[in-house]
Amino acid sequence: EVQLVESGGGLVKPGGSLRLSCAASGFEFSIYSMNWVRQAPGKGLEWVSSINIGSSYIYYADSVKGRFTISRDNAENSLYLQMDSLRAEDTAVYYCAKETTYSTFDYWGRGTLVTVSS
Amino acid sequence: QSALTQPASVSGSPGQSITISCTGTSSDVDDYKSVSWYQQHPGKAPKLMISDVSNRPSGVSNRFSGSKSGNTASLTISGLQAEDEADYYCSSYTSRWSRVFGTGTKVTVL
């Protein structure tokens, strides 16, 4: 059974940092691109970042470029999102999502809530 | 990258068919066969319903179907059921190697 379990969310002050993790199991993690998608309270889905199998192709939404860094450890079956210079508008549930073909996210985690507030 | 445009809400009675549109541009929906649809119930993670415009993953009801014409993709739900009441999002690959979601549509079963 495919499982994606996010962790690392919490309350952080504006300007602060947080590192999210996503533990993957039940599939061959190293052969799939992975993504982070977020959803602000009461709002729609927003794609955040993607990383390919060898970490050679990494892309970010304009809203987080220069502040967030995606990475992965294929040996540990884990995906990460380092979030720096956090802003109130980064407050959201952050989902880890497995990608099959481009823009096809076939499995999602349950999400981890990040709240940026003073 | 601007979000793809979806109607805010669509409603229908049980047994009816409804269609949700997803309008993009020549840089995303019109240019790629990589449009997907997701269903999200309150407090839950999204679930993949349609991939690559019209492919239905295993386990998804055949009441759900997808299509595309130019820069507009569509999701049709036939034989509407109470359990279909949820938010629906489209997504597409883009020419800037990014991904983009639609604005979301709330489906109400009357």
B25-43 per-position pLDDT tens digit: 877 887 777 899 999 999 9
B40-57 per-position pLDDT tens digit: 999 999 999 999 999 999
The residue to which tokens 């729609």 are assigned: A44
pLDDT for A64: 97
Task: Supply the DSSP string of chain B, one letter for each residue.
Answer: -PPBB--SEEEE-TT--EEEEEE--TTTTTT-S-EEEEEE-TTS--EEEEBTTTBPPTTS-TTEEEEEETTEEEEEE-S--GGG-EEEEEEEE-TTS-EEEB--EEEEE-
Residues 6+ apart with CB under 8 A from B59: none
Task: Supply the DSSP string of A2-15, one letter for each residue.
Answer: -EEEEE--EEE-TT
pLDDT tops 80 at residue B81: yes
Determine whether the interchain pair B38/A100 forms a contact, defined as Cβ–Cβ distance below 8 Å: no
Q: Which of A59, A100, A109 faces B45 most closely, judged by CB atoms?
A: A109
pLDDT tops 80 at residue B1: no
Tokens of B34: 């990589």
Which residue, among A103, A106, A113, would best test binding to B if mutated, counting the most B CBs under 10 Å from its CB? A103
pLDDT tops 80 at residue A15: yes
In this prediction, what percent of chain A has a pLDDT beyond 90? 97
B-chain residues within 8 Å CB-CB of A6?
none
Cβ-based neighbour number of residue B63 at 10 Å: 14
Residue of A nearest to B36 (CA): A104
Whether residue A61 lies within 8 A of chain B, CB to CB, comes out as: yes
Determine whether the interchain pair B35/A103 forms a contact, defined as Cβ–Cβ distance below 8 Å: yes
Dist CA B85 CA B67 (whole Å): 21
A31-44 per-position pLDDT tens digit: 999 999 999 999 99
